[in-house]
């Protein structure tokens, strides 16, 4: 099978020729892998079955950077923070923490007109043999993405108390994202295969919010994005970190096709539990923990972890092998290579 057919077969919970694979990595591991393969095209080197497309922002810079603080078009502020194995552009200031409704209304945000969609058809044609995706884990995401402007603590308080300012921030941001996504899918002219969105719903130990709160404020927005994907006759994959299986029945009702991340170390997220409970209703993407053997084991232990996961998740199809999150700088290069070699070796049907 070509990659497109392989992924779409798995998303339909049928059996492809082999398990599809995906890759996420931060800058440090990207650099090391590019040096190893002597190429900048890691997707080709690792035989990844996915490619993403999206519009290019061509609008004015809405805010100036603040010294060593970089500010994006949403107003999210990040500063470079070093750590023992590299560094991150980490969130460092939350300008809308105490904002009123009026301040939320006045906060500059990108306009869907500020994006160039004209290159999307050609971009899709260039990668037509792969599963072409639009969106990302931050699309539609409320708790994380709005928390980057208002703090996670405040956005959770907003959801619990129906705070008008917080709800207006959510509404403004998601309506803009919905329209950008609609124009992206429209520009793709039937060449985009999958919409990706996200909402982190779990800690390592349990739910971040109650089911009632999820259904009151989070689910309605997920439903809007899924409805948009359905209008273009494509499936949806949702990213959700931590112990999130408590929401999977709702995902099924909404019409989500695939759930990604699937941290096996989190509560109620063991691959065997997920496969048994929802394997006939959802496709799965992930399960190879970036906090497990991939980071702290040997190549043989990584291969064993991949093989064990495949033995659980492969039967009947419906599984895409991927790291749970971006692979971190602390994962040895040889472990990452072992992961993808094991996927080739043990992932054939």
Q: Which token pair is 203? A: 């800690």
Domain boundaries, the chain: 3-60+96-346
Pick the closest to residue 98 from 150, 60, 171, 46 (CA basis). 150
Pick the closest to residue 247 from 196, 209, 287 (CA basis). 209
pLDDT at 83: 85
For every one of its 349 residues, what pLDDT tens digit does the chain have, with 9 covering 90 and above?
Answer: 999 999 999 999 999 999 999 999 999 999 999 999 999 999 999 999 999 999 999 999 999 999 999 999 999 999 999 988 788 899 999 999 999 999 999 999 999 999 999 999 999 999 999 999 999 999 999 999 999 999 999 999 999 999 999 999 999 999 999 999 999 999 999 999 999 999 999 999 999 999 999 999 999 999 999 999 999 999 999 999 999 999 999 999 999 999 999 999 999 999 999 999 999 999 999 999 999 999 999 999 999 999 999 999 999 999 999 999 999 999 999 999 999 999 999 999 9
The H or E element that residue 144 is part of is: helix 143-150
Rounded Cα distance, 311 and 347, in Å: 9
- The dihedral region occupied by 150, where left means phi > 0, alpha psi between -120 and 50, and beta the remainder, is alpha
Alpha helix stretches (DSSP H) within 162-202: 164-188
Provide the terminal-to-terminal Cα distance of the chain, rounded to the nearest Å: 12
Contact 208, 200 (CB under 8 A): yes
Q: Which token pair is 6? A: 């392989």
Q: What are phi and psi of 348, to 5 degrees?
A: -85, 140
Rounded Cα distance, 68 and 186, in Å: 38
Contact 85, 31 (CB under 8 A): no
Count CB-CB contacts under 10 A for residue 112. Answer: 18
- In sequence order, the β-bridge partners of residue 57 are 115
- pLDDT tens, position by position, 283-307: 999 999 999 999 999 999 999 999 9
pLDDT at 195: 98
- DSSP letter at 89 equals E
User: What topology is assigned to 3-60+96-346 in CATH?
Assistant: TIM Barrel (3.20.20)
Contact 331, 290 (CB under 8 A): yes
pLDDT at 84: 82
Contact 214, 222 (CB under 8 A): no
The H or E element that residue 115 is part of is: strand 115-116
Q: Where are the beta strands (DSSP E) in the chain?
A: 50-52, 56-57, 69-71, 77-83, 86-93, 115-116, 131-135, 194-198, 236-240, 258-261, 283-288, 319-323
Give this prediction's pTM.
Answer: 0.97
pLDDT at 86: 82
pLDDT at 49: 98
């Amino acid at each position: 099978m070509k990659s497109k057919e392989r992924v779409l077969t798995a998303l339909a919970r049928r059996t492809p020729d082999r398990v599809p694979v995906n890759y996420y990595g931060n800058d440090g591991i990207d650099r090391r892998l590019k040096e190893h393969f002597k190429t900048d095209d890691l997707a080709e080197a690792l035989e990844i079955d996915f490619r993403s497309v999206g519009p290019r922002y061509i609008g004015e810079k809405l805010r100036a950077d603040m010294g060593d603080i970089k500010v994006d078009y949403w107003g999210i502020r990040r500063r470079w923070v070093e750590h023992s194995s590299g560094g991150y552009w980490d969130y460092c200031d939350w300008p809308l923490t105490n904002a009123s409704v009026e301040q939320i209304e006045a906060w500059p945000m990108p306009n869907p007109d500020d994006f160039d969609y004209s290159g999307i058809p050609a971009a899709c044609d260039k990668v037509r043999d792969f599963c072409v995706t639009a969106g990302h884990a931050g699309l539609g995401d409320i708790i994380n993405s709005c928390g980057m402007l208002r703090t996670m603590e405040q956005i959770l308080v907003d959801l619990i108390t129906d705070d008008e300012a917080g709800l207006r921030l959510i509404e403004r941001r998601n309506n803009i994202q919905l329209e950008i996504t609609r124009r992206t899918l429209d520009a793709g002219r039937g060449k985009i295969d999958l919409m990706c969105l996200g909402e982190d719903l779990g800690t390592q130990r349990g739910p971040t919010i109650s089911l009632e709160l999820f259904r009151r404020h989070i689910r309605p927005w997920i439903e809007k994005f899924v409805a948009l994907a359905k209008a273009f006759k494509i499936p949806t994959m949702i990213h959700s970190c931590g112990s999130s299986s408590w929401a999977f029945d709702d995902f099924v009702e909404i019409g989500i096709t695939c759930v990604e991340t699937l941290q096996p170390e989190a509560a109620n997220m063991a691959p065997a539990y997920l496969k048994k409970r929802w394997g006939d209703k959802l496709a799965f993407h992930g399960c190879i923990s970036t906090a497990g053997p991939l980071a702290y084991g040997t190549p043989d232990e990584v291969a064993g972890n991949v093989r064990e996961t495949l033995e659980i998740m492969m039967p009947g199809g419906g599984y895409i092998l991927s790291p749970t999150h971006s692979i971190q700088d602390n994962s040895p290069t040889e472990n990452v290579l072992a992961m993808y070699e094991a996927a080739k070796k043990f992932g054939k049907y």
